[in-house]
Copies of this chain bind each other. A is one copy, B any other.
Amino acid sequence: MHASERTRTVIEKIYPSIDCGRFPVKRVTGETVRIQADIFADGHERVRCVLADKPPGIEQWLEREMRFVDNDRWEGRFTVDALGRHAYTIAAWVDHFGGWREGLAKKVKAGLDVALEVLSGAELVEAAARRAAGTAQPAPLGDDPPHYDSALRKREASRLTELAERLANTTIPIGQRIELALSNELRDLAMRYPDRSHETRLEHPLWVTVDRERAGFSSWYEMFPRSASSDPGRHGTFRDCERLLPYVAEMGFDVLYFPPIHPIGVTKRKGRNNRLEPAPDDPGSPWAIGGAEGGHTAIHPELGTQEEFERLVRRAREHGLEIALDIAFQCSPDHPWVTEHPEWFTIRPDGSVQFAENPPKKYEDIYPLNFESEDWENLWRALRDVFLHWIKAGVTIFRVDNPHTKSFPFWEWVIDELKREHPETIFLSEAFTRPKVMYQLAKLGFTQSYTYFTWRNNASEMRAYLEELTTTEAIEFFRPNFWPNTPDILHADLQNGGRPAFVVRLVLAATLSSNYGIYGPAFELLENTPREPGSEEYLDSEKYEIKDWNRDDPKSLRPIITTLNHARKEHSALQRNDTLRFHPTDNPQILAYSKHSPDLESVMLMVVSFDYRYPQSGWLEFGPSKVGVKSTNQYMVYDLLTDQGYRWQDGWNYVELRPADGPVHVFRVIPLGQDDDLGDSSW
């Protein structure tokens, strides 16, 4: 037995609380966190409960009363503003004062004699006065609530004492004392100093990881800097990349992501199209990291110097672009660590280092690190220092290659270590693996995650996947980043679907997910030839050679990409995933979905046909009322891609989607008042 056993309240079924509070939920600055829990006491007692939160670096909990929802469910909200780990917890206690007041009111109404009840109340109020005066127990979650200064407490204590004395003063007529007992003044004052000596608290606080806004809303453009040269055949440089910044920025992207920029190994180097025998001038794969010139903290000499890289980072910022680096923790046979730290690798019985393999496939140009190494602590520190090196150079966004082939505890440790000092850093998990492993990496700290988007290729699959991502607990910790293509993945739909497929996959990525990206210029230039039939590899893949792209090709998707990215910036509905709603259509090829801002100022409706060859038409059910807009049943939908508007009704509306035009609508939804002018000027 211990004293907490006089505790009478229960707090359970807290939402969100990932794996019993083992992992934090995620938010970006400015967002609200809504917390619900079942909270109740034995018997018929009233309970009171507070949600308390504590921003990073702050010592004191800030409490706010929770609101009763229904069926012993309570809710509270707080807003997160500072980057870092934000704590929250709940406390609950039996509300003796409120119970007394409620009982008194009922007895008075029933005409009972309440003289003794009023005296009982005087005792409760006197106790509140003692707490206000600070001579009783302090508020358990912290020090004095900051919003009460001691002078105020003193005044309130003395007023409470005065009220208690009057309640107990039998020379005052009982009617007057009853009125006082039930007064709002007494209620408000007494409730500020509740008896929390037997309150229930959570055993451990829960956590929110608060990221900057770009963690929740970002548009990525991936390119190989070595293909940035303007002279065909010349190795691109960071200087060349500077020249391309306007190209990328004008399309509306905000993250410019480079595959690894480090020296490339020569031993077992892969040739063009992944050939085992490279030609002498084959540049090799940037993911075969490390050579005589250095490893993960060095720069491939042909790209430029550390100074030039840092200058590029600064110049990019001037264009509203952040440079994201690819961190691939694996080594070419020529990486300095292979000789300096052989204990970080797996050594085979003949003394050689174990290369990567997926039996029977061998990847002899790549040595994986051994996370079961006896020297694992130094290995972890060295890997952390790789991030720190590039953070120092101005990089704050990292795309992490194959994180699922490194140990889970390492990621939890390193991301926490890094974000402690650099809470602005963003980590994108490139794990294309089993669903629970992908979720685990997100729980461990990755800010954003690659997804199965690329392989969801019809309306019903896409809807089911998005519902999993946005209507389950996953939305609390897993931030999807949708990619229609990557240097590794040229999906059959793009190979076969032509321009309509590119447009559809682009629109889906950019409107279903607030974070998305493309690998360019392959994407905008509609590159769609696979290495061989059935393969998702590009023919003449940029992974193994330098490409000469005609960025001014008139067939480029630049215009629609620009329009879409502009729409994403302009319409805040597209900057979040939690308001995604699917809407019924009578044609299974057509997917209709909306997003809206919480204030309903921005409502977007997307209509997409998955048929890249033939026109599809049908009816879809939608209206602003479906997302909570009140008292309007007429509205306009305005297609941001075609600059065409339609007047629609709340209910079923007709759509026709033709592949030639790009079988998609990206509608801004504009509710109309009863007597709105529907002339062109209303646009």
Contact = CB atoms under 8 A, between A and B. Distances in A.
A123 B346 CA distance: 13
Interface in A498-548: none
Interface in A249-288: none
A38 interface: yes
A19 interface: yes
A680 interface: no
A335 to B, nearest CB: 20
A239 interface: no
Interface in A410-445: 410, 413, 434-437, 440
A185 interface: no
Interface stretch (A107-115, A300-308, A667-675): A107-115
Interface in A88-104: 102-104
A350 B118 CA distance: 11
A43 interface: yes
A202 to B, nearest CB: 11
Nearest to A377: B1
Interface string A354-390: 0001111010000000011000110010000000000
A410 B5 contact: yes
A71 B435 contact: yes
A437 B360 contact: no
A252 B148 CA distance: 67
A112 to B, nearest CB: 6
A349 to B, nearest CB: 4
Contact of A350 (B6, B116, B406): B116
A437 B8 CA distance: 12
A38 to B, nearest CB: 5
Given A8-B407, A407-B8, A436-B40, A360 B110 contact: yes
A233 B6 CA distance: 46
A6 B44 CA distance: 51
A7 B42 contact: no
Given A40-B436, A377-B1, A380-B1, A409 B7 contact: yes
A106 interface: yes
Contacts of A349: 116, 119-120, 122-123
A66 to B, nearest CB: 16
Interface in A8-54: 8, 10, 12-13, 19-21, 38, 40, 42-44
Given A1-B380, A40-B436, A107-B360, 13 more contacts: A5-B410, A6-B371, A6-B407, A7-B407, A7-B409, A8-B408, A42-B405, A71-B435, A106-B359, A110-B360, A116-B350, A119-B349, A123-B349
